[in-house]
């Protein structure tokens, strides 16, 4: 009887969000341009030859456990400027609301630790440079699906009634809050998701020596977050300045903005954009199975299998030591605590939006 340590990550409903797949940065290649039907298995450390596949009924099969991947903290910063509405006539605001609701209800989002804030703040005299005013989220961090209703309730209670688009302090506040989160959760991943339909704009002001409306200044701020391990993703809605959105995304280490700019399909495109971000941001590293961590199963009796499109047959991803030709490795060869997909393998598998990974315990590790 086949017994698997089943690990399934469904990577969203369209290709385009990339915390590093491991300590080795791989988000540069996660641009969603690879067709899942054209994955070169041999080039990414996957043994596609049928007769080398592990026998699912092999006597060495072990136990099935729940996988634990590196948790992701996602801070969503949502533009509520007047250009997003008014709601009664705007498919943009209403579509984004519904798209967010569908995203948080999606079973593939389960386990994601998420918070939500809006910008601009209500007319309370908040200075344009005051990132501290945007640190505390409207909906605090918690995991999905538990946090789903608070998130949808919060956006349902909002209106697109802001006069400015203060991206600089909103992004800065989110980055600062995530820095604080990681102080108590240092083993986890973190990213900002900036949702906007425009370009940065606010009251005429300078923040010390910088202009808060300058795209380069905001991109530099995203780069500062990246230096602290915090990625910035940008989702652009209809009307967004694509060049500015891309510039901020590049500064935040995520290659380019994810666009949902068809005014007739905002709800679907926005949901898809969020799913893309989720898929790209989730790390390609997984906690060592309990049986292995406890020493009940040897490190040399672990195999990783990939099911293209999430359906059988599966193919074996071979173990490697240097990742030069893809595959997977342990974080520490002597005392491992994680299983990590090599960058090229991570990128290719993430382009398969329904990819499924299983970890088979008890059979001799396939190595190349």
Q: Concatenate the DSSP letters of all residues of 303-326 into one string.
A: EEEEEGGG-SPEEEEPB-SS-BTB
pLDDT tens over the chain, length 368 residues = 334 444 333 333 322 333 333 333 222 222 222 233 344 545 556 654 434 455 544 545 544 443 445 678 999 999 998 888 775 456 788 888 888 888 888 887 888 899 999 998 876 666 667 899 999 999 999 999 999 999 999 999 988 888 888 899 999 999 999 999 999 998 788 999 999 998 887 655 567 777 888 999 999 999 999 999 899 999 998 889 999 999 999 999 988 998 888 888 888 888 888 777 777 776 678 778 888 888 888 999 998 888 887 777 878 899 998 888 899 999 888 889 889 888 888 877 776 656 677 888 888 898 98
Residue indicated by tokens 């599966």: 314
How many helices (H) and strands (E) the chain has is answered by: 8, 14
Edge-to-edge, what's the strand order for the sheet holding 258-259? 139-143, 113-119, 72-79, 189-196, 230-236, 258-259
Instruction: For the chain, report the end-to-end CA distance as a whole number of angstroms.
Output: 27
Is the distance from CB of 319 to CB of 365 less than 8 angstroms? yes
Structural domains of the chain ordered from first start:
5-69+284-361 (no CATH), 72-281 (3.40.50.410)
Max alpha carbon distance in the chain (Å)? 71
> 170: Cβ–Cβ under 8 A, 6 or more apart, which residues?
77, 117, 119, 120, 131, 134, 194
DSSP letter for each residue of 209-253: TB-TT-HHHHHHHHHHHHHTTEEEEEEEPTT--HHHHHHHHHHTT
CA–CA gap between residue 250 and residue 218 (Å, rounded):
11
Encoded tokens for 16: 């385009």
Distance of CA 240 to the CA centre of its chain: 21
Q: In degrees rounded to 5, what are phi and psi of residue 358?
A: -115, 145
- What's the pLDDT score for residue 32? 26
What pLDDT sits at residue 87? Answer: 59
What does pTM read for this prediction? 0.68
Count of CA atoms in the C-beta half-sphere (13 A) of 54: 32
Give 184's contacts (C-beta < 8 A, 6+ positions apart): none
pLDDT of residue 124: 62
CA nearest to 318, candidates 307, 309, 328, 332: 328
DSSP class of 120: S
Per DSSP, 148 falls in state H
């Amino acid at each position: 009887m086949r017994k698997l340590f089943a690990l399934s990550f469904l990577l969203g409903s369209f290709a385009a969000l990339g915390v590093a797949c491991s300590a080795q940065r791989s988000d540069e290649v996660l641009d969603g341009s690879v067709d899942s039907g054209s994955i070169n298995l041999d080039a990414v450390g996957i043994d596609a030859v049928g007769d080398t596949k592990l026998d699912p009924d092999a006597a060495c099969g072990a136990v099935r456990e729940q996988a634990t991947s590196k948790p992701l903290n996602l801070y969503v910063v949502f533009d509520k400027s007047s250009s997003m509405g008014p709601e009664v006539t705007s498919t943009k605001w209403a579509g984004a609301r519904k798209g967010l609701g569908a995203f948080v209800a999606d079973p593939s989002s389960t386990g994601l630790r998420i918070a939500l804030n809006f910008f601009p703040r209500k007319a309370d005299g908040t200075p344009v440079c005051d990132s501290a005013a945007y640190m505390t989220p409207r909906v605090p961090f918690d995991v999905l699906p538990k946090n789903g209703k608070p998130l949808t309730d919060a956006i349902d209670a909002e209106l697109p009634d802001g006069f400015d688009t203060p991206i600089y302090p909103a992004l800065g506040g989110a980055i600062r809050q995530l820095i604080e989160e990681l102080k108590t959760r240092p083993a986890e991943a973190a990213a900002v998701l900036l949702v906007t339909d425009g370009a940065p704009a606010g009251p005429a002001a300078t923040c010390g020596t910088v202009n808060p409306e300058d795209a380069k200044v905001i991109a530099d701020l995203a780069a500062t977050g990246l230096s602290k391990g915090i990625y910035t993703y940008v989702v652009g809605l209809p009307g967004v300045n694509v060049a500015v959105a891309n510039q901020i995304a590049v500064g935040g280490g995520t290659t380019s903005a994810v666009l949902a700019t068809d005014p007739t399909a905002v709800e679907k495109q926005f949901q898809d954009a969020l799913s893309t971000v989720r898929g790209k941001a989730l790390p390609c590293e997984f906690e060592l199975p309990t049986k292995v961590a406890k020493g009940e199963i040897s490190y040399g009796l672990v195999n990783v299998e990939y099911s293209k499109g999430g359906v059988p047959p599966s193919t074996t991803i071979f173990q490697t030591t240097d990742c030069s030709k893809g595959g997977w490795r342990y974080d520490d060869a002597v005392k491992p605590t994680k299983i990590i997909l090599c960058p090229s393998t991570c990128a290719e598998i993430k382009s398969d939006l329904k990819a499924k990974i299983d970890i088979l315990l008890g059979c001799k590790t396939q190595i190349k």
